Amino acid sequence: MAKITVAKNAGYCYGVRRAIEKAESLGGKGQKVYTAGPLIHNKFVVEQLEGKGIFSREDIESIPDGAAVVVRAHGITLEQQRRLLEKGCQLEDATCPHVGRIHRIVEEESEKGRHILLIGAGKHPEVLGIASRCKSCTILENPAQAEEWAEKNSQIAVSVVSQTTFNREIFVNCTKILKNACKSINIFDTICNATDERQKEARTLASGSDLVIVIGDQTSSNSRRLYEICLQVCPDTLFVENAKGIPEGYGRGKQAIAIAAGASTPDLIIKEVYDKMTDEMNIQETESFAELLEQTLKTLHTGEKVTGVITQINPTDIHVDLGVKQAGYIPTTELSDDPNYVIADNIHIGDEIEAYVMRVNDQEGTIMLSKKRLDAVKNWEVLEKAVETGEVYDCVITDVNKGGVIANVLGIRVFIPASQTGLPREADLSQMVKTHQKVRITEVTRPRRRVVGSIKAPLMEARREAAAKIWEEIEVGSVYTGTVKSFTSYGAFVDIGGVDGMIHISELSWSRVKHPSDVLKIGQTVEVYVIALDKEKKKISLGYKKAEDNPWTKFESNYNVGDVVPVKIVKFMPFGAFAEVLPGVDGLIHISQIADRRIGKPEEVLTIGETVNAKITDIDSEKKKISLSIRALLDASNTEPEEVEAEENDAE
């Protein structure tokens, strides 16, 4: 069965409809109204407007002084505007908001001393109006012109804009050439989103149709572009200004017919074409044209929940097709409150997206949307349920607040009291900012917009699970990587993954240690081994010093009785002096072996920290004692050292 499809984006765009409504509102007051050139590119509409007292004048001078003048959707040049004001005319600005935005861009960029490159049809009134607002401007109509300009002017700082209804393919090709050649370039994508959508839809419809009818004035550039696009994919494409342009019997035998229309085509003409083709094809309507039109003209309101399709992704906003005349967009700041949200990972062109209507701007024909606000409503419900289920969420700590820290969970602010951060009391909470944590929601009070969470709770749970596993597997000799948690005067406590063990001060180093902090630091990652454990009392003794680092082993491997070695005096006793042979290994120089004469005290000859040569006279491996002699090196007779062991034992 044959089917006729009317493009959803057929007919007036927002800017054109707005211009006509402004003109008609002035004409309805009984006064003559003029437009500086045709209000829109459609002869039928211009004739209709004259019947309502609204007259088009190409020549500014032919407009009476003091008359009411509507500035057309394409805008006018600054010179035309100046002249009209000189004539005392009252201007009603109906310039399309998208064109007005380009005016602002080129004015700002010109003030910065940048040359404006305007890509568009050179004689088009919109292009002329934009160019008049530039201090210096070059109009480029195709890539060849862009390449020629770039070859001669690559050193110039340029800013690039486009006519709103221009061919996007040409615009993209031109900007590629300019980007590769120009050393300083700012590119503004000013092609109207409605134009893009209209052309994309026309191409899609044409590709699935046997016949396409494009409606528009022959002078309308956007209508002609629609015709060219459709003709590329459907050879049987007809370009008409109204229903009279369709030959009798045209389209009979076709199964799929598409109707597209330019932005200056009134709904009345589209309906006439639709009705004629319906009669020609003898099609029974399942949905009236009026109903189709009503769908495209429906108005959205602030606070509504809407669903649309993503059509364009820009650095600052996301364009969304809502199926209405106004252009929907989501500022990137309204996508998510999650600081780790990555646009490229979450949304793509063609995706369906739900959003909340924040503001409808009838002046600019835009609808500002917010995804994060709609998500927030859903996520409040999710977090309320999480209090009951105990679900744990990944989050990032964003700030420190009085009494705790702030996290972001599902786009919602969550307060975590200091006692629930998992840090010791009096710890610096700022160290948690920008860290990734796991949080459990413990309280949700939606009317007060208050959510409280705990990092400590999931940490403790994970710690209990880890501890249970460790107690199942732990045995003497097990090696663990742990974190130093705290110190006492007699040792250090280390978390080995849910269980704390203690390293006695004697197990920290082979050298003498006054305090654990001489060897370790709080928070340090260490490798330890189990030297004893009591599962009933839940006590674990850990070792840190390594057997291979035992200085006595190193001594026995490298030194023998009779060796002469440099030693450092470290301590005096009444019976002699202790000297360091190696770090961690000391020997005794008995008072009788310090000098070749009798002395009363070791300090009569030696000083603490002094390095002297001494001879190893005895090694007691069992008791790990070394006897040293300076006298042996001084006494030519090399008298054997006196027996001092008994005196040493008495002193100890």
Which residues are known catalytic residues?
126
What values do phi and psi take at 30, rounded to 5?
85, 5
Could you say which DSSP state residue 369 is in?
E
Of the candidates 200, 167, 164, 170, which has an alpha carbon nearest to the alpha carbon of residue 349? Answer: 200
Q: How many CB atoms lie within 10 A of CB 377?
A: 10
Q: At what angle do helices 168-181 and 143-153 cross, to 10 degrees?
A: 20
Number of residues in the chain:
652
The three-point CA angle 582-584-587 to 5° equals: 65
Of the candidates 421, 385, 379, which has an alpha carbon nearest to the alpha carbon of residue 400? Answer: 421
Give the SS3 label for residue 634.
helix
Run of H or E residues at 529: strand 525-534
Contact 447, 482 (CB under 8 A): no
Residue 249 token pair: 């019997």
In 333-351, which positions are buried (b, 16+ CB within 10 angstroms) versus exposed (e)? ebbbbbeeeeeeeebeeee
Long-range CB pairs of 596-601 (<8 Å, 24+ gap) are 596/631, 596/634, 596/635, 601/572, 601/574
The type of residue at 473 is: E
Contact 319, 195 (CB under 8 A): no
Of the candidates 628, 625, 624, 585, which has an alpha carbon nearest to the alpha carbon of residue 606? Answer: 628
Residue 16 token pair: 């054109």
